Amino acid sequence: TSETNAYDLSTCDREPIRTPGSIQPHGFALTLAGDLVVLQASENLEQHVGIAPTGALGQPLARVIGDAAATLLATELGATRIAERPLYLGTVCIHNACYFDVLAHRYDSVLMLEFESVERRASADFRNLYPLVGEFLLKLNDTNTTEAMSALAADEIRAVTGYGRVMVYHFDHDGHGHVIAESLADGYHSYFGQRFPATDIPRQARELYTLNRIRLIHDANYTPARLVPALNPVTGAPNDLSFAALRSVSPVHLQYMRNMNTLASMSVSLVVKGKLWGLISCHNETPCPVAFEQRTACEQLGQILALSIESREDANELEFRLDLRRIMVSMLGGLTQGANFIDNMSSVFPALLKFERAGGVAIIVDEHLLTYGDTPPDAQIRELVGWLSTKAHGDIFHTDQLSKVYAHGAQMTRNASGILALPISRIHKHYLIWFRPEVIHTIDWAGNPHAKEGAGPLGQLTPRTSFSTWRETIHGTSIPWHNGELELALEFRTALLGIALERAEQMAELAE
């Protein structure tokens, strides 16, 4: 039932993903005080450097990772301003054996050092980043749709990471995701064109991903390594790992990944106008490391893609509104001529339809009702007007699913699934109503989003186990009303009222 659903989803929303208390074990972490004395260590310290975490607490950094590594890091720390985003300090060799990329960030009252185990025995090399980003920019210049730009980014990120599947995933108004571009290695099946329900990525995760633009899950089968002690000694609360690169992720999500047969995943946030527009989501069937330098490249590609999408959307929006304005201006030119308002309006009927991408339009002035194009029968329109005048209180009203809000809507879905009603008098029940026909469409979901597969151990909704295409057919909706269309409709009304006022004054003058 929808009740259990609401309960389940709110438990997803409450997963404390910023304060998991642990990290992913492909590296270790230390928190330090200003004097580089260790405050906390991850419990896997011993596996990585042979010292138990309790043995490290209260010790200077050099005692834990050796003099050479500690000196290098201390020098870098002295020369760099460390803020909440992890910065690369260098690659250190600990106990002449293992190499680690060291990331530093200062957050939640402590300095956190993260040591990511790496294969290479040298420093990270960021030099290839610039040609890569430069080439990407050049190629972007030759594309002109969001989909084409996204496809380029997907290819590029797959080349950088070596992952098997890279998808660009766009959120719609309801938060559902749509795969709009994809790059695949041999043997990986496609999710292109599929929808994923909003609940796959809960609210707090979206919030975090707007702040922290990249995350990596190295191996979905990992055993988390807890921080010791569990509470941040400075704040007395669990550490806020929002910006930590090794942050352990939600166990529910790890199950989701295993169900999807992807053991490694990386996702890069696409933030457009300050909002999470989508993600670049990367999968690999087997565990797969992506070192900091590659992640940085991916983060930059993601930022460039987001900026390009932003400017493309701005340009499209502008063009769309400009077109509407042209139609509106030409209509108003015609409306100022004749004497009778209704006659005047009927002379611009075709333009009115185009103006609001409608199938039909009706004008209601007192007892007069005039329709054009594909509209419901007059009696139904009059009934609708009665309802509107109680419901919309003289404001503009729009819906793309009338049957959902209006009891008699179901009988008029064919030509009036969508309506936009514009009151055109301040005193009387005068309306202009545009009607949009039903557009039956199908959604290919990656797995049935309505399937209940039982509660998990914590009573939460468990991730679905099948991602094979599940087709849903949507009835009773029209294409949605665009903000520009609503705003221009209001402008049109203002102009109409202006014309009416002028007309009334002229009449008064004539009468004198």
Binding site for ligand BLA (CB under 6 A): 12, 15, 17, 167, 169, 177, 179, 191, 196, 199-202, 205, 215, 217, 249-250, 252-253, 256, 265, 267, 279, 281, 460-461, 463
Comparison of 13 and 505: residue with beta carbon closer to ligand BLA: 13
Which CB, 278 or 376, lies closer to ligand BLA? 278
Q: Please state, in angstroms and rounded to a whole number, the distance separating the CA atoms of residues 280 and 154.
A: 7
Instruction: Specify whether the backbone of 243 is left (phi greater than 0), alpha (psi in -120 to 50) or beta.
Output: alpha
Residues 215 and 18 sit within 8 Å (Cβ to Cβ): no
Q: Residue 145 Cβ, how far from ligand BLA at the closest point, in Å?
A: 20
Tell me whether strands 22-23 and 98-107 are parallel, antiparallel or unpaired.
Answer: unpaired
Least CB distance from residue 114 to ligand BLA, whole Å?
A: 16
Nearest to ligand BLA of 88, 209 (CB atom): 209
Non-local (6+) Cβ contacts of 339 within 8 A are: none
DSSP 39: E
3-state DSSP assignment of residue 371: strand
State how far the Cα of 499 lies from the Cα of 84, in Å rounded to an integer. 58
Computed from CA positions of residues 400, 403, 408, 413, in that sequence, does the dihedral angle turn out positive or negative? positive
- The C-alpha atoms of residue 205 and residue 256 are separated, in whole angstroms, by 14
CB 58 within 8 A of CB 72: no
Q: Indicate the residue among 110 and 154 with the shorter CB distance to ligand BLA.
A: 154
Task: Write the burial class of residue 453 (CB in 10 Å: 0-12 exposed, 13-18 middle, 19+ buried).
Answer: middle
Q: How far is the CB of 173 from ligand BLA (least distance, A)?
A: 16
Q: Smallest gap, in angstroms, from Cβ of residue 179 to ligand BLA?
A: 6
Is-contact 394 413, C-beta < 8 A? Answer: no
Q: Considering the complex, state which of residue 264 and residue 345 has its C-beta at the smaller distance from ligand BLA.
A: 264
Q: In whole angstroms, how close is the CB of 473 to ligand BLA at the nearest point?
A: 22
Query: 45, 56 in Cβ contact below 8 A?
Result: yes
Task: Report in angstroms how near the CB of residue 216 gets to ligand BLA at its nearest.
Answer: 8
Shortest Å distance, C-beta 156 to ligand BLA: 18
Q: How far is the CB of 471 from ligand BLA (least distance, A)?
A: 17
If the CB atoms of residues 88 and 196 are measured against ligand BLA, the closer one turns out to be 196
Smallest gap, in angstroms, from Cβ of residue 17 to ligand BLA? 4
Residue 108's region, left for phi above 0, alpha for psi from -120 to 50, else beta, is left
Q: Which is nearer to ligand BLA, 445 or 492 (CB)?
A: 445
DSSP 8-state symbol, 240: -
Tokens at 58, concatenated? 């209260």
Q: Using the minimum distance from each CB to ligand BLA, give the nearer residue, 179 or 402.
A: 179
Spell out the SS3 assignment of 61-98: HHHHHCHHHHHHHHHHHHHCCCCCCCEEEEEEEECCCE
DSSP assignment string, 200-232: GS-HHHHHHHHHS-EEEES-TTPPPEEEESSB-
Closer of 177 and 302 to ligand BLA (Cβ): 177
**Minimum Å distance from CB 497 to ligand BLA?**
47
Q: Which residue, 215 or 430, is less far from ligand BLA as judged by CB?
A: 215
